Structure 1
Amino acid sequence: MSRTADTVEIREDEVALLVGHGSRREKSNEQVRELAAGLEGRLGVPVDAAFLELAEPSIPEAIDGLAHSTSRLTLVPLSLFAASHVKNDLPLAVDRARAEHPGVRFHAGGHLGIHPAILDLLDDRAATVEAELGIDREDDDVAVVICARGSSDPDSNADVHKLARLLYEGREFSRVEAGFIGVTEPLLDEVLHDLAKARPDAVVVLPYMLGDGVLTGRIRDGADEFDEEYPYVDAAAGDPLGTDSRLLDVLSDRWQEARTDSVDMSCDTCKYKVELDGYEEDTGGARAMLRAMTHQQAHEDRENVDDEPHAHDAPGTHIAVCTNQTCAADGAPAVLEKLRQAARDADADVHVTRSSCFDQCGDGPIVAQYPDGVWYGGCEGEDAERIVSAAERDRIVSELVHQTL
């Protein structure tokens, strides 16, 4: 058992839930389950796997299945960085669980983040590529690029740069740079071409990904294209993090932090908490909700893209119901279920989900209709059919309108 499990009291009825993103590639989902099994052996408590989207069980389904047999449940996200899933989706799931299972004590863990074990893992990934290329960082000029997915969250992107600097410190690399495969800059191609000007002997590209999916393939393709374009530089990409046992070291620490209520989030640089230059419109609960739904819609719009790992079936209308404490007490869970039933009965092109607080406490239950930007207030279950019917006809229920955005 790890040092983490040795330092805390473990109750027999305690369980943990490892939360992965979810993928249409079953191999990626199996990696999450493999890590969950490894973490169970490490912690000495039952550990199940759940997914944010695209795979089953969902977080609510997993919690509902575990809550009857435990008094303490700790959720640990298998997320590299703190972006919207960790900052919004996971806390929302925990709030819902606390409301629906008052007899269970819930804890939410932090993302993997920056950790010595991950730095060691990246160092080993780089050494493997060096050996394949027949080079030695002590004798040759070796540059490294850590390539991440890229995010619209500045915290997430900043952590990639911090990771790159920490990998550089104390090691014999000539340079370690951060790059991204999409969403933000600098893109991998830009970083590689910039490195070529310094004429290193070799460039090692490290995919900062958990699974070996579409994006990892694009990173490998980028490294291969660079290798062909610059014959005086040897270049190759390494493997993603995968299910390396060192990830269990990190997850064990995040589990302990969660169950002792000592999770330290980056609130001072969180675009949902404070106004950051360029991200002012994302600040606040309502803006966070709209940002999350816009993010989901962007994924849904990719449904016809081949091999798109984040594709969804795109709904015409997205309806979100606030299920935070005040709205929940006013009957939001019943409204949510009525809306879902109405959408099913009408076979409507409407997607109904839960959401976090809209900052309209006391006027709920609040129901938001997107992309129309309409909020309904004081909703009841009997309003569900009218809301869904209006959404299908591209209309709104005027007498329920609380405000518009």
Structure 2
Amino acid sequence: MPKPRFSSSVSSASLFAGAAFRAATTESAPTESALGKIGVMVCGHGSRDEAAVAEFATLSAHLKQAFPHWPVDYGYLEFATPVIRDGLDRLMAQGVRHVLAVPGMLFAAGHAKNDIPSVLNTYAATHPGLTVEYARELGIDTRMLRAAGARIQEALDAAPEVPLHETLLVVVGRGASDPDANSNVAKVTRMLWEGFGFGWAETAYSGVTFPLVEPALEKATRLGFRRVIVFPYFLFTGILVRRIYDMTDAVAARHPEIEFVKAPYLNDHPLVIETFVDRVNEILEGQNLMNCAMCKYREQVLGFEAEIGMPQESHHHHVEGIGTGGTPVFHGAGHDHSHGHSHDHGHDHAPGHSHDHGHSHDHGPDHAHEHEHGHEHGHEHHHHPYPHADHPLGPRSMKRD
């Protein structure tokens, strides 16, 4: 059997290097900065799926181990408790005045660019003496690619041997109405394709954009490969990951001549944790710079020109804390969610640029709130139309059972 390109688990040398990396970043870390006591806040999207919420809590526990000198807490935008404000409350109760907030997101679309910064801004504006600094998303990173490769290799190791040049890889991303985030998924696909030497590769998305999973897999069946590897490039489990696997089973049943292999999602792979640690440290080092060159809120990205300078705001307050047994968190009557303060969140803009840009909530054309749930809003959200809303291969999310 040919030597695998990726280890199915991290090697002992890699684990040692990761442990040394974490030790180096924490042993000498100051407990306070010029702004006060330091704490870490991990900001997740949230899910109605209890297993997904539990996996995110596990991630936060890993970061507590990585930063033993700093208080670490976490919270969600919606559909789970604790909400982000709860985690910030707990950090402040421990004397934290300098919060290093990291988004639990693979790529920067509406949630990382707008929703989380809006919640953090609102909180900081009502708590004098508190400074919140925001990390960049995990993004394209060699460690993330190695973690993805290890997950794919796990699937290959468990399956009968088929030559790599007779195998097609399908990488499935979340999908967003932000072309920069979508293009990053495609780049991950290409890096994995070339890294392994697969015969071909395709990129699909679970919702919002195109192609969706089922049409992408059907296309893959027409390309003449003996095996198709389906890899959800997701951090955690949930409804969407299960739908991806279900769609894979459905297409496989229609094409018994092709072997379909389902690779595991990223979860808390050690290299994922190491990347999170690095994102937190980048804040203190002044290196937490998001990609503004392709940001549709700053530049004239083809097809999205009208979204430059849209207001930075979040509309998750009506679903905070519900979905997994939590109690909805209400802002109270008269709450104005269109606050006017700006949030740099690591974008290193030119002087005077306030980054009060738009809210890209990753919705499809009928505003069906394409997250891991079927929630539909009945109120005004001022979303800009997605230019490919009527594309024949999307962008509505995968059909629900």
Aligned to 1:380: none
> RMSD of the TM alignment (CA)?
3.3
> Which of 1 and 2 has higher RCO (CA within 8 Å, sep 6+)?
2
TM-fit CA distance, 1:110: 1.0
Q: Kindly provide the amino acid, as one letter, of the partner of residue 197 in structure 2.
A: E
Letter in 2 for 1:232: E
The structure that is helix-richer by fraction is 1
Q: Take 2:356 and 2:223, find their aligned partners in 1: how far apart are those partners?
A: 50
Which residue of structure 2 aligns with residue 105 of structure 1? 131
2:293 match: secondary structure = helix
Conserved in 2, the CA contact under 8 Å of 1:17 and 1:75? yes
For 1:318 and 1:201, how far apart are their aligned partners in 2? 60
The partner residue of 1:76 within 102, 114, 118 is: 102
TM (norm. structure 2) is 0.71
- Tell me the TM-score normalised to structure 1 length: 0.70
Structure 1 residues 279 and 251 mapped into 2: Cα distance closer, same or farther (>3 Å)? Answer: same
Match of 1:11 in 2: 30
Q: Could you tell me whether the CA contact under 8 Å between 1:39 and 1:47 is conserved in 2?
A: yes
Structure 2 residues without counterparts, runs of 5 or longer: 1-18, 32-36, 343-354, 359-378, 383-401
For 1:86, the equivalent position in structure 2 comes to: 112
Mark the CA change 1:281 to 1:318 in structure 2 (over 3 Å): closer, same or farther. Answer: farther
Match for residue 67 of structure 2 among 36, 43, 46: 43
Deviations 1:228-266 (A, max 9, x none): 222221012222212222211110111111232311211
The answer (yes or no) to whether the contact 2:205–2:211 under 8 Å persists in 1 is: yes
Q: Distance in 2 between matches of 1:273 and 1:60?
A: 28
Query: Paired residue for 2:180?
Result: 155
Pair 1:247-2:265 in alignment? no
Q: Distance in 2 between matches of 1:159 and 1:6?
A: 30
1:223 to 1:107, Cα distance in 2 relative to 1, 3 A: same
Equivalence for 1:323:
339
SS at match of 1:81: coil
Distance 1:372 1:181 in 2: 22
Deviation at 1:167, TM superposition (A): 0.9
SS of residue in 2 equivalent to 1:225: helix
Instruction: Give percent identity, aligned residues only.
Output: 28
Structure number with bigger Rg? 1
The one-letter code matched in structure 2 to 1:15 is G
Aligned pairs for 1:233-244 within 5 A: 233-244=258-269
**Aligned-pair distance for 1:215?**
0.8
Paired letter, 2:380: P
Higher share in strand = 1
Shift of 1:115: 1.5
The size of the alignment, in residue pairs, is 319
CA-CA distance at 1:107 after TM superposition: 1.5
Shift of the 226–321 alpha-carbon distance from structure 1 to 2, 3 Å rule, reads closer
Q: Tell me the equivalent position of 1:24.
A: 48
Going from structure 1 to structure 2, the CA distance change for 1:96 and 1:239 (only over 3 Å counts) comes to same
- Alignment match, 1:135: 161
